Amino acid sequence: MHLYIYDDFLEKSKYTKTVNKIETRITDLGLNGKIIRLSNLKNIESAIWNEIKRGARTLVVVGNDGSFNKILKTLLAKEVSFFLNEIFFAFIPVENSQVALSLGIKSYTDACNILLARRTENIKIAKANNYYFLSQAEIFSKNIIINIDDAYDIASNDKSSIYIINMPLFDISKSLPKKIDPRDENLHIYINSKGHSFLSVKQIKVSSVDEGYITLDNSTKIKLPCTLTMSDKGVNLIVGKKRVFL
């Protein structure tokens, strides 16, 4: 059964026409399912958990990158993640979306067709301290020390652009020297500072002389120090052909 999860900002009148077009296309393709709206929910995790218990196995987020990340984190919650291997996760973007482009989704119309085609990939989930992330982490601080696999340190004293990547977002993917496979057991560190560095690693520890922080999936901010590794979780994503990964 399909469960469509609408973010609360879609209730604004400027999105009405887009939502109507999405619903018409879903009906035409025979992909009807139940709709829940986040604006009507006090407890997102409980609501999704109840729908999963009733048989929902394809969860479709309708919204933007923030919506996608919010629901993904809900899926990784303790009770819901018990069924994670049985659940398929899809995305219909209503705005410009880095996540959608990474998954090979160009528009909401394209997303509906991809949902019908149902091409799936099981993507590993990364972890930063006690937080999960799917795509990448970006470090914000001037004086950074990065420990690689407890073997050696990299120091950065300028305003380098430093990314720790599991599945690259679309814009960063165009700068990487090679494609990343988010189905493997590695994280990848990309440093853009007077040249480019690119490494595949198992564990990264990031600390800062100054107060610094790291942003996960372009949405969740946590303070340094931080240890990043791959988790033991994975998620089944419905993807397009022209995704950024192998």
Amino acid (1-letter code) at residue 100? A
103 with 160, same domain: the answer is no
Is 15 part of a structural domain of the chain?
yes
Co-location of 9 and 109 in the same domain: yes
| pLDDT tens digits, 65-121 | 989 998 998 888 877 888 888 999 999 999 989 999 999 999 999 999 999 999 999
**Residue 195: per-residue pLDDT:** 62
Domain that holds residue 139: 127-231
* CB environment 105-122: b (16+ within 10 A), e (fewer): beebebbbebbeeeeebe
Residue 57 shares a structural domain with residue 6: yes
Same domain, 113 and 136: no
Looking at the structure, do residues 211 and 189 belong to the same domain, yes or no?
A: yes
Give the total number of structural domains in the chain. Answer: 2
Burial degree of 100 (CB within 10 A; 0-12, 13-18, 19+): buried
Look at residue 239 and tell me if it is in a domain: no
Question: What's the pLDDT score for residue 203?
Answer: 96
Residues 49 and 99 in one domain: yes
User: Going by DSSP bridges, is the β-strand pair 196-201/88-93 parallel, antiparallel, or unpaired?
Assistant: unpaired
pLDDT of the residue at 93: 97
DSSP, collapsed to helix, strand or coil, labels residue 237 as strand
Residues of the chain falling short of pLDDT 70: 158-160, 193-195, 246
Distance CA 168, CA 181 (A): 9
Domain boundary among 75, 91, 118: 118
pLDDT, position 159:
67
Task: Please report the pLDDT score of residue 80 as a whole number.
Answer: 81
Q: What is the pTM of this model?
A: 0.89
Q: What percent of the chain clears pLDDT 70, i.e. is strictly above it? A: 97
